[in-house]
Chains A and B, each alone.
Chain A
Amino acid sequence: MEQDKTLKTAQPQYPLMENHAETLRAASGRSVNEIDLAAALADELSPDDLQISAETLRAQAQIAAQASFTQLAENLSRAAELTAVPNEELLNMYTAVRPGRSTYAELQTLAETLETTYHAPLNAQLVREAAAVYQQRNMLKRNL
C-alpha cells in the first residue's frame, strides 16, 4: 500500500526524518532535503532553514499522544505555538513568568499578547493559570 508521505496525514510515521523527508519543511519552508553542504557553501541557507516548524511540532505532538506520552504531547503543542515568537521576545516572556518578575496585570497582558499577537492560546492559558496561582501563593512582583 502506498504510504501517505505528507505530514498533515492523520498518522505521521515516526521517525519523520526517515518516513516523511520529502514533505518535511523547516520553519522557513525549505525542504529538509535541500539542506546540505552544497547549499550551505553557496550561502543559500539562513538560520530559519534550521528551525523546526509549528506543523512538524504538531506532528511530533500527535506521535507523542499516540504513544501515551500525554503531557509531552501538550508541551509540544505549546512549543508549536511558540515558534511564532521571536527569540528575544521569547526570552523576555520566560523571564516574565519566573517568580517575582511580574504583577498580576502584567501576566494578564502577556497572556493577551500570546493569544492575540501569536495565536498561542495554550500558552496564554498556562500564563493565566500562573497568574492566579502566583497571586494566591504570593509569587507576584512585589511593589516597592
Chain B
Amino acid sequence: MPVQSKRFSILAERDINKETFVEPWPEAGLIVTDSPYDPAPSLRIENGRIVEMDGKARVDFDAIDIWIADHGLNLAVAAEAMATPSQQIAHMLADINITQQAVRRLAEGCTPAKLCEIIRHMNVLEMMMGLAKMRVRRTPANQAHVTNWREHPALLAADAAEAALRGFAEVETTVRVARNAPLNALAILVGVQTGRGGVLTQCSVEEALGLKLAMKGLTTYAETLSVYGTERTFVDGDDTPWSKAFLASAYASRGVKVRFTSGTGSEALMGNAEQCSMLYLEARCLLITRGAGSQGVQNGSISCIALPESLPGGVRAVLAENLLASMLGLEVAAGNDALASHSSIRKTAKLMLQFIPGADFIFSGYSAVPKRDNLFGGGNFDAEDFDDYNVLQRDMQVDGGLRPISEQEALEIRHEGAKALQAVYAELGFPPITEEEIIAATIAHSSDDMPERDIIVDLAAADGFLAGEQNMLTIVNALQKHGFIKTAENVLKMGRQRVAGDYLQPSAIFDKNFHVLSGVNDVNDYTGPGTGYRLENERWDEVQRIPQAKSPRDFVNPQIGEPTEKLVEIGPVKPGSRQEIVVAVGPAFNQAMTRTIGGLEHEDVLKAILTGVASEGLTARIVKIHQSSDCAAIGHIGADLSGSGIAIGMQSRGTTVIHKKGLARLNNLELFPQSPSLTLEHYEAIGRNAARYAKGVPTRPVAVKIDNWARLKLIVKTALLHRRETEQITDQPPGELLFDWEPEV
C-alpha cells in the first residue's frame, strides 16, 4: 500500500492546517465549557446576604466570590432566577416573544454556574437569536484599531480620519513604546474628529497612564480594564475587583466612558485556571464587571482567541460569552480583533456569529490598518479586507457598522487629518511634521510607506506634553488658528459632551450629529420579524453603494457598435434543398448588438464560420431567426431550414450550437455554451465541423477550454445581453441574410 496521498498532501498545505488544535485537558483549564471541575449552581441567602454560592460556603469564598456575592447579583430576583429551570431561561433567550427586559431581570439573579448551565442547552443558532435580542443598543456599531509600528503621527491621524469616515463609532490606538501614548492619543483624536465628528477614542496603556491621558482630555473612553476569573490571575494582573471598581469610578468622575476587558482563555494562559472551564471563569468575570458598575465589556476572548479556537467548541464558547455579557445588560465589544486564524473561511465563518445577530460593537477592534501595523495582535480582519466586509454587509443586508468610501474621499480626508495634526504639532512646538510626511501619509497603506522620524525627539516631546499644562483647549485653539475649524469644533464638542456625561450610559455612541445612542434612548426592542433594528432607508442605500457597483448600461455598451452594411436581410427564407449549411443567428445579430460577449465583431465571426464551411467544400446560407432568442431554438429552426439538415445556431452574444434536423430541440451535435472563451479559430472549426456532419464523415468535436470562472465573472453581462436580444423578438418569420463577402478557398 502506498503511504502518501496526493490529495492529503494538498490538504496539508491548506491554511487551516497551519492552525494549532489540541485535545481538551480540564486540569490545565484547556476546556471551553463544562469542565468536570466546574461547580453546580447553588445559592443560599440569609438575612439579605449570600452565604453559599455555586457549592461554596461563604467562609471558603476567595476575593472574587466575595465581590460577586456582595456586588454582582440582584438579590431581589436571585431566588426566583435560581429556581427557574435553566432550560426555561435558555428557551426565553431564543423565544422571539419574550422581551430583552424579561430575560435580563432573571439573568441578574443568576450565579456564574447557573449562567453556564443556561448556555449548556443552547446551540449557536439559538445563541445568535439570543444576542440579536439581548444586545443592549438597538443600533449595531463597530470599533477600529488604528496603530502603526513606526508610531508615525501623520499616519495615525490619516488612518484615524479614514476610519472615522468609514463609519467606525470608536477608534482605539495603543503604543509600541509606552512613552508615545500622549502623542498617539492626540493623533487619533485629531484624525477622527476630522473624519467624522463624535467618534470616541482611547489609547490602550497601563491603567494609571490611561487615566492620565483621559484627565488631559486626550481620550474619551477606556476599554482595557482587564478582569480575570480567578483570584491569582486577577492579582497577577495587578488589580482586585475593588481597585478596578475604584478605577471605573475615577474614569467616570472625569467624564470618561469605561468598558472592562475579559474573555475566555486568559486564566489558562496565565496558569491559574483552577481546573475550571473557560466559560465558567468568564461568567465570573462578567459578574465582577457588572458588580463594578462598568457599563460594558469587551469579551469574545480578545487577545487569547487562538486558545479557545484550538479546542473543540471554542467558537461556540466565544459566542456564549458575548451572549452572557449582553444578558447582564453590559455593552459588548464582541472580539473578532486579534489574529485568530490563518484561514479566510474559518475567520469569516466565526465572524458571522456576531455579524448576523449584531453586537454593540461587532469588533472590539477591526484593524483599520494592515496586519503588520497592528500593535494589538495582528488584526483578524484588516484594512485589506475593507471591500470584502462592505460586500458582506451588502450581500446580507446586515449593518456591520461600516460604509463604503471612494478613493478620492479617502485621499481627501487622510490629507485633511494629517494637515490638522501638522498644525497642532506646529502650534504646540512639537517636532515638525513635514510636507513630505503629509503626502506620504495621505497615500500610504502602511508604515513602510512613511519616512523615518527622529524617535528620540518625538519621545521628548511626548514626555513634555504629558507633564505640561497643554490640554484639549490648547489643541482646539491650535486647530482654529490654522483654519481647521470643523476639526476644532468637533474636538470641542467632545469636550462639551464630557460635561454632559450622556455617553457614560450603557452602549453609548454618537451619530454624526453628536446625538447620543445608548441603552437608555436606543433600547433594543427586538421581538421577532419586523421589530428591532432593520437596515433600511438611507443607511441601506449607503451600504448598497459600493464604488465597484456599475450601472447595468455599462455591461451592454461594449457589445453595441455600427452594424456592418455588408449584411442585409432580403426577405423570407425558403427551406433549402442543396448540400448546404444554415447559419442561423439571433434577432439582435448585427443590429441591436454587433459584438459577441468576447468582443468579436459579428462580421468577423460570420467570416470565420463561412471560411470553415468552405474549407470542407460546402457553402452556407445565413438566416436570421426573429421569433426566439434561445440558442437551442435558433439552431433547431435553422436545421429545419437547412438542405443538409445541419445548422449552426448562434445567439448574438456568441453562444453557439451545431444542430441537426430531427433531433429534439434541446439535443444537439455540439454545444458551445461558454461564448466568452470562443475565438475566431473556434468559429472556423465550428463551420468546418458542421460541413463534415453534412458530408457524413467522421468528425472530432471542437475542443474548447473550460473556464468555470467565466460564468461567475460574466453572469450579469450575459443576463443583460440576453435581455437585449429577447427584446428584439417579433412574430416575423426567419429572413434570409445576404452577406456581401466570399471566403477565399
* A71 at the B interface (CB under 8 A): yes
Chain B residues 497-520 with CB under 8 Å of chain A are 497-502, 504-506, 514-516, 518-520
What interface size band does chain B fall in? 35 or more
CB neighbours (8 Å) of B243 from chain A are 94, 97-99, 130
Contact with A along B236-268 (1 / 0, CB 8 A): 001110110111111111110000000000000
Question: Are B246's CB and A18's CB within 8 A?
Answer: no
CB neighbours (8 Å) of B251 from chain A are 79
Question: Are A76's CB and B473's CB within 8 A?
Answer: no
Contact with A along B452-484 (1 / 0, CB 8 A): 000000000000000000011100110011000
CB neighbours (8 Å) of A26 from chain B are 499
B236 and chain A: residue at smallest CB distance: A99
* B207 at the A interface (CB under 8 A): yes
Question: Are B506's CB and A51's CB within 8 A?
Answer: no
Cα–Cα distance between A90 and B472 once the two chains are bound (Å): 20
CB neighbours (8 Å) of A32 from chain B are 496, 499-500
Cα–Cα distance between A130 and B294 once the two chains are bound (Å): 18
CB neighbours (8 Å) of B62 from chain A are 137
Question: Are A68's CB and B329's CB within 8 A?
Answer: yes
Select which of B104, B292, B500 is within 8 A of A16 by beta carbon: B500
* B211 at the A interface (CB under 8 A): yes
Question: Are A52's CB and B499's CB within 8 A?
Answer: yes
CB of A132, distance to nearest CB on chain B (Å): 9
B251 and chain A: residue at smallest CB distance: A79
Question: Are B500's CB and A24's CB within 8 A?
Answer: yes
Knowing A45-B473, A71-B291, A71-B293, say if A17 contacts B240 (CB, 8 Å): no
CB of B54, distance to nearest CB on chain A (Å): 18
Question: Are B249's CB and A69's CB within 8 A?
Answer: no
Chain A residues 35-68 with CB under 8 Å of chain B are 35-37, 40-41, 43, 45-47, 49-53, 56-57, 60, 63-64, 67-68
CB neighbours (8 Å) of B231 from chain A are 137
CB of B734, distance to nearest CB on chain A (Å): 73
Question: Are A75's CB and B499's CB within 8 A?
Answer: no
Question: Are B504's CB and A123's CB within 8 A?
Answer: no
Question: Are A60's CB and B504's CB within 8 A?
Answer: yes
Question: Are B249's CB and A123's CB within 8 A?
Answer: yes
Knowing A60-B504, A94-B246, say if A137 contacts B63 (CB, 8 Å): yes
A54 and chain B: residue at smallest CB distance: B253
Question: Are A16's CB and B245's CB within 8 A?
Answer: no
Chain A residues 102-142 with CB under 8 Å of chain B are 123, 126-127, 129-130, 133-134, 136-137, 139
Cα–Cα distance between A41 and B477 once the two chains are bound (Å): 6
Cα–Cα distance between A82 and B247 once the two chains are bound (Å): 10
Cα–Cα distance between A40 and B247 once the two chains are bound (Å): 30
* B135 at the A interface (CB under 8 A): no
Q: Measuring CB to CB, which residues of chain B are less than 8 angstroms from any residue of chain A?
A: 62-63, 66-67, 70-71, 74, 101, 104, 207-208, 211-212, 215, 217, 231, 235, 238-240, 242-243, 245-255, 290-295, 329, 471-473, 476-477, 480-481, 485, 488-489, 492, 495-502, 504-506, 514-516, 518-521
Closest 9 CB pairs of A and B: A75-B293, A79-B252, A130-B242, A82-B253, A52-B255, A78-B249, A17-B500, A50-B495, A15-B502
Q: Measuring CB to CB, which residues of chain A are less than 8 angstroms from any residue of chain B?
A: 14-18, 24-27, 32, 35-37, 40-41, 43, 45-47, 49-53, 56-57, 60, 63-64, 67-76, 78-83, 85, 87, 90-91, 93-95, 97-100, 123, 126-127, 129-130, 133-134, 136-137, 139
